């Protein structure tokens, strides 16, 4: 039996009560009606108290498509949002990369490669780290996570081709591992319809990957296709990492599970059609953070904060102050 805690929290398991704490809240930080400025990435820098987010794709009257990147300064009340200028083609997911860089997934254009771009948070200049798999171009790189050994793991679905800004796919929809130190790249997992969000458990022994195959890039929806989170064990053979023991971790009943993160207790959070759903490490749905219109992606801040991207709106979710995201430790 589920219960409702205020207007924004639905409890399915009493363990969720400990997560949201006694003073939980959801508040609107910023709103932009002209375009969906708050769609993907969500990269928080605690030192500067700033957040980088990417918009949904914007289509102009002459049918040109682009994505806007916004820097949100959280030091002001109200917060200030500044659209930045950079050369990243159709930016999507992102992650902190060192003290003052963001690692962005670029979905690419017809004539510009999809891949991984490293952007300075000071100058906003960016350069391509990796844009192909042994000469075969990526489809439309979507989301990314960085292992403590420095390797970069990312997903590559085919949304760009479906939405008309990328050529036909040259690769299956797969998950990759790129090692910047030696330039090596490997395909790590396949068998997805559309691999999307990716994250590690706090101890980096498990990789979680979302499959958003239920909704295709052209808007076609089929309830028989995957709207699921899969878990893999990260193992080592002959000194190299492999993903083994693929298993269904969770199925999202509202929309699709897009962005995905863990807290330090190993609980799994994913942006879904009704907000952010939270599962225990064992796959039990603990509760939901209900946000009308759903959440594509989000990120943890400090002291129990979550910044939820809700297309035209950016929200701050206050959980218990003890809750911390695994990425920022």
* pLDDT for the residue numbered 55: 98
Query: What are the tens digits of pLDDT across the range 199-227?
Result: 999 999 999 999 999 999 988 999 999 99
* pLDDT for the residue numbered 5: 66
Tokens representing residue 48 in the block: 């500067």
Instruction: Sketch the domain layout of the chain as residue ranges.
Output: 25-264
* pLDDT for the residue numbered 302: 95
Euclidean distance between CA atoms 277 and 97, whole angstroms: 26
* Residue 26, SS3 per DSSP: strand
The dihedral sign for the CA sequence 120, 295, 207, 133: negative
CATH code of the region 25-264: 2.120.10.30
Q: What is the pTM of this model?
A: 0.97
Query: What are the tens digits of pLDDT across the range 141-170?
Result: 999 999 999 999 999 999 999 999 999 999
Question: CB-based burial of residue 213 (10 Å sphere; 0-12 exposed, 13-18 middle, 19+ buried)?
Answer: buried
* pLDDT for the residue numbered 258: 98
CB 42 within 8 A of CB 51: yes
* pLDDT for the residue numbered 7: 86
* Residue 161, SS3 per DSSP: helix
- What does the DSSP 8-state code read for residue 215? B
Q: Which parts of the chain have pLDDT scores under 70?
A: 1-6
* pLDDT for the residue numbered 61: 78
Euclidean distance between CA atoms 32 and 230, whole angstroms: 34
The number of CA neighbours under 13 Å toward the Cβ of 191 is 10
Which residues touch 145 (CB under 8 Å, ≥6 apart)?
A: 95, 152, 153, 154, 198, 199, 200, 327
Euclidean distance between CA atoms 160 and 281, whole angstroms: 33
Radius of gyration of the chain, Cα coordinates, nearest whole angstrom: 18
């Amino acid at each position: 039996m589920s219960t409702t805690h205020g207007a924004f929290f639905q409890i399915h398991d009493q363990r969720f009560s400990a997560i949201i704490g006694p003073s939980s809240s959801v508040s609107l930080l910023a709103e932009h009606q002209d375009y969906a400025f708050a769609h993907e990435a969500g990269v928080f820098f605690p030192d500067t108290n700033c957040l980088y987010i990417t918009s949904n794709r914007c289509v102009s009257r002459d049918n040109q498509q682009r994505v806007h990147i916004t820097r949100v300064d959280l030091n002001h009340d109200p917060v200030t949002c500044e659209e930045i200028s950079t050369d990243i083609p159709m930016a999507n997911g992102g992650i902190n990369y060192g003290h003052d860089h963001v690692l962005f997934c670029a979905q690419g254009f017809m004539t510009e490669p999809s891949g991984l771009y490293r952007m300075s948070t000071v100058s906003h200049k960016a350069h391509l780290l990796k844009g192909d798999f042994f000469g075969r171009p990526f489809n439309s790189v979507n989301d990314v996570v960085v292992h403590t050994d420095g390797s970069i793991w990312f997903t590559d679905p085919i949304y760009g081709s479906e939405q008309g800004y990328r050529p036909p796919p040259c690769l299956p929809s797969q998950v990759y591992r790129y090692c910047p130190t030696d330039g090596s790249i490997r395909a790590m997992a396949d068998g997805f319809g559309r691999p999307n969000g990716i994250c590690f458990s706090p101890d980096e022994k498990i990789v979680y990957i979302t499959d958003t195959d239920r909704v295709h890039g052209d808007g076609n929806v089929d309830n028989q296709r995957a709207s699921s989170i899969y878990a893999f064990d990260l193992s080592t053979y002959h000194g190299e990492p492999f993903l083994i023991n693929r298993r269904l971790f969770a199925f999202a009943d509202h929309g699709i599970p897009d962005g995905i993160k863990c807290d330090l207790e190993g609980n799994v959070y994913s942006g879904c059609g009704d907000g952010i759903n939270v599962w225990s490490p064992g796959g039990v749905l603990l509760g939901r953070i209900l946000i009308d219109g759903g959440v594509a992606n989000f990120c943890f801040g400090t002291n129990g904060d979550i910044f939820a991207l809700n297309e035209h709106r950016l929200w701050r979710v206050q959980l218990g102050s003890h809750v911390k995201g695994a990425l920022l430790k």
